[in-house]
Amino acid sequence: MRRIIAINREFGSGGREIGRRLADALNLEYYDHEICTKIAQESSLDENYVNNVIENGFTNNFNITYSHSISLIPSFVDTATVLLAKQHKLIKELATKQDCLFVGRGADAVLADLNPLRIFVYAETDSKLKRCRERAPEGENLTDKELIRKMKQIDNARASNHDLVADYDWNDKFAYDLLINTTNVDIKSIIPSLTAYADAWFKNHKSI
Amino acid sequence: MRRIIAINREFGSGGREIGRRLADALNLEYYDHEICTKIAQESSLDENYVNNVIENGFTNNFNITYSHSISLIPSFVDTATVLLAKQHKLIKELATKQDCLFVGRGADAVLADLNPLRIFVYAETDSKLKRCRERAPEGENLTDKELIRKMKQIDNARASNHDLVADYDWNDKFAYDLLINTTNVDIKSIIPSLTAYADAWFKNHKSI
């Protein structure tokens, strides 16, 4: 039986940290940005470009980069479509080869046939602000208002990207097996219990 | 520090079973129908009547029992208001005396000041139907359609009752610390992990 975990998360909620720690504890291969690195290598494209196209979604890219030049849209759509298709193919290949944990990237929907344990991580705005401040890149001096706007933009892009592969909403609780509110939670302290939960859940659910 | 857990749950999702087992594992006093028993004893009212008024909410009682006789409405509202107020007072008294776990009854909102661990338990309809069938009272012969209607009615009443004490929706994920989808889950098998989660959460959150 293949053990697959798919984590979606609000920006600043600590979902990636949960994913990394859970993958370590359960001995699962961890994939997040690693997917873009692999695609960039295979496509001979710049990794940042691949990351931007895949993570920020069609709509945002149109608005930010291409709205001044309508003639560029068709080729961008082609590139984005190809990169997203590559991402889904790669996710499927990785998941059939080994036990693994994916953060984001629509893996919950792409791997639905493999019956992954689907987790959503979220938190109240103040808690996410605090976490973002602690982990801000050097030199980032956003006001709270700007940071809240950034968090919303990223979450909207994640929801839009998810819509491309799923027929349910990104933040619909029925799309998940477990939803974790990390407000005022020390993530390290809950990992042993989440590991035990995942172990029990995998024993309950026979996939592949 | 007082350890309080408040569980809300969809009918048929196994939330009560999770509550009972979690209370046992964590050595918490368990309260669900016991609240109505206490109120009935103190008020010298029939326990079933107290249960019906408190659990089915104002609106449902009007529709089912009182719509034929408008003259009964004022006294019913008085009784319901008094019983709900008694319930909230009792919940607060119990929670300040000892560590405890409440299933339903708006305890998450009534005890907000005590910072309870708030859990929501839900499941897909097929899973809830199966659970309801396994636990149906002898002689209950509802069709799937009737049982689904009953489940919806009960959940609507729970949401309406919750609205009387909370300024947030009963099934809003931001009202909870953990949401558990019990679809295809053997509840007994996840209790050790939930116990560990609650232990870690209580260590993270200093209340009282």
- Residue B116 in 3-state DSSP? coil
Is the pLDDT higher at A64 or at A164?
A164
The CATH superfamily holding the domain B4-202 is P-loop containing nucleotide triphosphate hydrolases (3.40.50.300)
Q: Which of the residues A197, A199, A203 would you substitute to probe the B interface, choosing the one with the greatest number of B C-beta atoms within 10 Å?
A: A197
Phi-psi domain of B91 (left: phi exceeds 0; alpha: psi -120 through 50; beta: other): alpha
In angstroms, rounded to a whole number, what is the distance separating the alpha carbons of residues A2 and A144?
42
Residue of chain B minimizing CA distance to A172? B173
**Å between A130 CA and nearest CA of chain B:** 16
pLDDT value of position B94:
93
**Chain centroid to CA A138: how far?**
23
Of B124, B179, B196, the CB nearest to A196: B196
Secondary structure (DSSP) of B88-104: HHHHHHHHHHS-EEEES
Q: Which of the residues B18, B121, B189 would you substitute to probe the A interface, choosing the one with the greatest number of A C-beta atoms within 10 Å?
A: B189
pLDDT value of position B191:
98
In angstroms, rounded to a whole number, what is the distance separating the alpha carbons of residues B169 and B35?
23
- Residue B142 in 3-state DSSP? coil
Residue of chain B minimizing CA distance to A183? B177
In angstroms, rounded to a whole number, what is the distance separating the alpha carbons of residues A149 and A157?
12
pLDDT value of position A57:
59
Q: Which of the residues A201, A202, A205 would you substitute to probe the B interface, choosing the one with the greatest number of B C-beta atoms within 10 Å?
A: A201
Tell me what the pLDDT averaged over chain A comes to.
Answer: 87
CB A178 within 8 A of CB B178: yes
CB B175 within 8 A of CB B108: yes
Enumerate chain B positions whose Cβ falls within 8 A of a Cβ in A. Answer: 122, 124, 171, 173-174, 176-181, 183-186, 189-190, 192-197, 199-201, 203-205
pLDDT value of position B185:
95
Whether A196 has a pLDDT exceeding 90, the answer reads yes
Residues sharing a CB contact under 8 Å with residue A131, sequence separation 6 or more, in sequence order: A12, A13, A14, A123
CB contact under 8 A, B192 and A196: yes
Q: Which of the residues A13, A185, A207 would you substitute to probe the B interface, choosing the one with the greatest number of B C-beta atoms within 10 Å?
A: A185
Mean pLDDT by 10 residues, chain B (208 residues): 94 97 97 85 82 67 44 62 86 94 95 96 96 87 93 93 92 96 96 98 78
Residues sharing a CB contact under 8 Å with residue B36, sequence separation 6 or more, in sequence order: B47, B50, B51, B54, B55, B87
Q: Measured between beta carbons, which residues in chain A are less than 8 angstroms from residue B174?
A: 122, 124, 181
Question: What CATH number has the domain spanning A4-194?
Answer: 3.40.50.300
DSSP H or E stretch at residue B171: none
Q: What is the 3-state secondary structure (H, E, C) of chain A?
A: CCCEEEEEECCCCCHHHHHHHHHHHHCCEEECCHHHHHHHHHHCCCHHHHHHHHHHHHHHHHHHHHCCCHHHHHHHHHHHHHHHHHHHHHHHHHHHHCCEEEECCCHHHHCHHHCCEEEEEECCHHHHHHHHHHCCCCCCCCCHHHHHHHHHHHHHHHHHHHHCCCCCCCCCHHHCCEEEECCCCCHHHHHHHHHHHHHHHHHHCCCC
CB contact under 8 A, A122 and B190: no
CB contact under 8 A, B197 and A190: yes
CB contact under 8 A, A184 and B199: no
Reported as a single tens digit per residue, the pLDDT across A175-191 is 999 999 999 999 999 99
Which residue in B144, B146, B133, B194 sits closest to B7, CA to CA? B194
CB contact under 8 A, A184 and B200: no
Which tokens sit at B120?
């929501």
ipTM of the assembly? 0.89
CB B181 within 8 A of CB A177: yes
Q: Measured between beta carbons, which residues in chain A are less than 8 angstroms from residue B112?
A: none
Residue of chain B minimizing CA distance to A188? B200
Phi-psi domain of B185 (left: phi exceeds 0; alpha: psi -120 through 50; beta: other): beta
The residue extents of the domains of chain A are: 4-194
* Torsion A198-A199-A201-A206 (CA) sign: positive
CB contact under 8 A, A176 and B179: yes
